[in-house]
Amino acid sequence: MEALIARITEATGLGADVVEKAVGLILAFLAKEGPQDEVNKLLESMPGAREAVATSGDGGPGGAMGGLMGMMPGGGVMALGTKLMAAGVPMSQMQPFARELFAYGREHAGEDTMGAIVGGIPGLSQFL
């Protein structure tokens, strides 16, 4: 996980603590919303990924608004964006952040796995 955090920190200029939290939030989101077989392959291929999910503190969308956003097209991704901003990732850095994370995922889990994850979550492709 340290190599991924360093890579995203360099690409975005964000602090390592912000990157670490945001990686956990994104991986937790993928684990909840993505195709389970492919997400499991991704998490197994990335050292420290399961721990990042476990320590992300992401209990999913909360309250009535979180539930409503999750039901809207792209709501899940929109809710993730809100969580990332709260963790310290500015909107302007979300796309570079996601690109680095998914490039790392492709390097470790393969193009087919990442393609299935992106294709399986509505609205996710717009961040890449």
Given a contact cutoff of 8 angstroms between Cβ atoms, the answer to whether 80 and 25 are in contact is yes
The domain ranges of the chain are 2-127
93-126: buried (b, 16+ CB within 10 Å) or exposed (e) per residue? bbeebbebbbbbbeebbeeebbebbbeebebbee
| Mean of per-residue pLDDT scores for the chain | 88
Share of the chain above pLDDT 70, in %: 87
CATH 1.10.490 assigned to 2-127: yes
Q: What is the pLDDT of residues 22-64, one digit of tens each?
A: 999 999 999 999 999 999 999 999 999 999 999 988 754 433 3
This prediction's pTM: 0.86
**At residue 10, does pLDDT exceed 60?**
yes
